[in-house]
A and B are shown apart, each in its own frame.
Chain A
Amino acid sequence: MQLVEGEREEILACVKEVLGNNSKTRENLIPILQQVQKKLGYLPALAMEKIAEGVSVPAVDIYGLTTFYNQFRLNPPGKHQVKVCLGTACYMVGGDITLESFERRMEIKEGETSPDRRYSLDRVACVGCCTLAPVVVVDDQVEGKVTPTRVDGIMLALEENGESPGEQKSGTEEDGNNGEN
């Protein structure tokens, strides 16, 4: 994904700061990656290269780690992050159908971020509230018993509050039915 303006500088500064706070050993690699991801929201290729240089391990090892562990994401999170739980309990009551509804509404597949970085959609394995299945985490807010109709409601809410003044204006309209506010 294309870096946005000023992002390059932000990445470099962040990596520098995190490397400064940790001893640069292999054992600290995962904590370093976790801290960078926490600050940037994801691990851009540039950050991985710089960390590899800093800790003196081959860049391919970093890529190996970030693709091995589910926690690391290589594409930027959307302004609104939706995570659909596909743990056992959620799957049994149609979590996959919920995921599909989001894919249809956002016009992206799971694991992707919309080109305007407005939405990102992920599947997660169990958020630990199986009683409320199917569960969806919308911007850190857990929503229980999300049927496809509720998906429409959630999307509508996101579309509405996303257009408040002062916030970054999205490039494209998601559904065509959300006119200029």
Chain B
Amino acid sequence: MGKTNPQELYDKMRDQAQELVQAGKDKAQVFVGTATCGLAAGAQQVKENFVNEIEAKSLDAEVIEVGCLGHCYAEPLAVIAKPGFPPVCYGYLDEGLVHRLVEDFLAGDDPSYEYALAALERNDEFPTFEDFPRGVYEKKLILENCGFTDFSKIESYIANDGYSALAKALSEKPEQVLEEVKAANLRGRGGAGFPAGIKWEACVNGSGDEKYVICNADEGDPGAFMDRSILESDPHLVIEGMILCAFAVGSHQGYLYIRAEYPRAVKHVREAIEQAREKGLLGSSILGTDFSFDLEIFQGSGAFICGEATALVNSMEGKMGLPESRPPRLVEQGFRKKPTVLNNVKTFAYVPMIINRGAEWFKAIGTPESPGTAVFSLVGKINNTGLVEVPMGTTLRQLIEEVGDGLPNGREFKAVQIGGPSGGCLPQSSLDVPIDFDSLHEAGAIMGSGGLVVMDQDDCMVAVARYFLEFTQHESCGKCTFCRLGTKHMLDILTAITRGQGDAETLQLLKELSEDVRDGSLCNLGRTAPNPVLTTLKYFEDEYKAHIEEGRCPALVCRDLLLYYIEPPKCSKLCNVCVGSCPTEAIYTRDDGLKAIDQDKCVKCDNCRKACPPEYSAVIKLSPPVLPAEKERKAK
């Protein structure tokens, strides 16, 4: 018997998988998005509702859990695929809507388009996601199957040509995989954008036979969740990318370093690894060849610094996650002092499609220097919050106004924060900056983790800078003096400014200190920590000055610089809501029946303002915290 051909073995596997998946399509299928974000919005309940309703009507329909569709604003979401109809996506689901959909669409034949978000396939009846502005600008590569594939079954991945890149690569030589990735100029998606192919090549040339491949899924940026979403929704994509990398560099053992805060991602990946092993796609003699590679999960323990490659490796070795000075680089001396390739989740996810469709295809997307797509988690004051994937080179304006559908309720754009604690705040004037590694860097922000927070007039830039610095200060590992003590002093200064303290020299000091921390730190945590401060100082110095010179917070955020006041003309005698909402009994009823706030007791918790019925909106914030004379009189 000759050697088995991996391609033949794979083709057989795919045929079986496709048969299985096709068999499922004969009946109606309900795909409920149960990634962490969906669950938070009540997807579990929605799923149970579907199951119960379908059972009660004894319908022949299957309810399947899928991952994240990226349309987080409309969670909980479900896609209903019924033979004879285009698959349709429904959002904002609740018990009532589920009942209606089951009765009208599954039992009857009315797809209830009035509740649909979009169809998933072109048809004559209802627009698809591509027909909306968001779809025009979006290009989904690594998110393509997220939310549309049953993550719990390897067959749904294989049926969709999953692992075909692996079969193809195994029929060829490892060098060909490496050359393809190099030719594609795939840049690392962890933030810095180092070309993956060059990294891999250095590892190939590293000494010794023992090499490791590590996937960095320690997504620590408080506001980015695409890595989690990919691992939860399409784990095999990342696993296949890692196997391809291992094949290219000659590694036999790999690790996925996943945050312990992502229990669902850990669970899905663990199940996926087991299934891949059962199919002979992972473990010894993969697809009948003599190439062996296995994967294990290491659960990160929640330290932002562990996103840094050397710190991550230290933490895997059971030590504190302190970064090391480089060289030696990890590709020379990494995990257990062996050559190690460490890439981000997204970087690995691109590899299978590059192998399948070729470097030229990949380079045709995005810009020449940064080919491919960029994934962002859009949050903050924006209509379409969620995960989006756009080609590199898309401008921030297109991303925010078209893909994100602008700001809600006609709010006015003020700034956008890109890249989390290591990134910067860019103002209106920078909106036409194209999104790629180099342009963003020039503008003062970084691609970083892909967190993108949109801010409006109600967000105080000083408070935002302070928030990010508080985070990096807390997460500083303490190795370098500038990062350890410098960030602490910067935080003290910023805290003082939010209280209206400081003088003309304060800002100068803050700026100098920022530059020193940037220059005096070993790793990127310290080197980028001052970015939020430097960019806000550059673009929003007025706000800093308003705090210091006028004791006023223009956005009415800094609590030491504002007070709450109930405007008597708007207040109603018939309403007592605010009185009950106050945790400190600071609100009293005046002799004329209107309400007023005892400033000595007020803790500025914002309860009363939220509680005040919209038709009155009598509670307002004032900054600086002095009652103007005319209001003082009326308040008595």
Residues of A participating in the B interface, judged by any CB pair closer than 8 Å: 25-31, 33-34, 64-65, 68-72, 86-89, 91-92, 94, 97, 100-101, 104-105, 124-133, 135, 142, 144, 147-149
Contact = CB atoms under 8 A, between A and B. Distances in A.
A149 B301 CA distance: 33
A92 B453 contact: yes
B453 A94 contact: no
B63 interface: no
Contacts, number: 137
A100 B420 CA distance: 24
B220 A125 contact: yes
B417 A88 contact: yes
Contact of A69 (B302, B317, B467): B302
18 contacts: A27-B318, A31-B298, A34-B299, A34-B301, A65-B318, A65-B320, A70-B302, A71-B261, A87-B223, A89-B379, A97-B605, A97-B606, A126-B222, A129-B40, A129-B72, A131-B72, A132-B75, A147-B610
Contacts of A28: 318
B451 interface: yes
Given A27-B318, A126-B225, A148 B606 contact: yes
B386 A72 contact: no
Interface string B303-339: 1100000000001111111000000000000000000
Given A91-B467, A97-B606, A100-B605, A127 B39 contact: no
Contacts of A31: 298-299
Contact of A127 (B72, B261, B611): B261
A62 B606 CA distance: 42
A72 B318 contact: no
B41 interface: yes
Contact of A133 (B321, B379, B420, B611): B379
Nearest to A85: B222
Contact of B451 (A25, A71, A88, A142): A88
Nearest to B320: A68
A127 B455 CA distance: 20
Contacts of B319: 26, 65
Interface string B192-230: 000000000000000000000000000011111100110
A92 B301 contact: no
Nearest to A69: B301
A88 B40 contact: no
Interface in B438-488: 451, 453, 455, 459, 464, 467-468, 471, 477
A149 B455 contact: no
Nearest to B421: A88
B581 A128 contact: no
Interface residues of B, number: 56
B301 A135 contact: no
B37 interface: yes
A145 B420 CA distance: 22
A115 to B, nearest CB: 22
B39 A92 contact: no
A78 to B, nearest CB: 19
B288 interface: no
A126 B223 contact: yes
A129 B225 CA distance: 8
Given A148-B581, A149-B607, 8 more contacts: A88-B223, A88-B417, A101-B605, A124-B261, A125-B222, A129-B36, A129-B72, A130-B379
Contacts of A87: 222-223
B45 to A, nearest CB: 11
B369 to A, nearest CB: 28
Contacts of B75: 131-132
A71 B301 contact: yes
A128 B605 contact: no
A94 B606 contact: yes
Nearest to A87: B222
Given A34-B260, A88-B222, A101-B583, A64 B320 contact: yes
Nearest to A94: B606
A76 B319 CA distance: 24
Across chains A and B, which 10 residue pairs bring their CB atoms closest together, nearest first?
A88-B223, A69-B301, A87-B222, A70-B302, A142-B40, A129-B40, A29-B318, A71-B301, A128-B225, A126-B222
A150 to B, nearest CB: 10
A72 B36 contact: no
B185 interface: no
Given A25-B318, A88-B451, A89-B453, A131 B477 contact: no
B262 interface: yes
B575 to A, nearest CB: 15
Given A89-B223, A101-B583, A127 B40 contact: yes
B377 interface: yes
Nearest to A28: B318
Instruction: Identify which of A69, A105, A142 gathers the most chain B CB atoms within 10 Å of its CB.
Output: A69
Contacts of A65: 318-320
A127 B308 CA distance: 21
B41 A92 contact: no
Contacts of B262: 128
A34 B266 CA distance: 14
A51 to B, nearest CB: 12
Contacts of A125: 220, 222, 304, 471
Given A27-B318, A70-B301, A131 B228 contact: no
B385 interface: yes
A135 B379 CA distance: 13
Instruction: Identify which of B302, B303, B379, B467 gathers the most chain A CB atoms within 10 Å of its CB.
Output: B379
Contacts of A149: 581, 607, 610-611
A83 B223 CA distance: 16
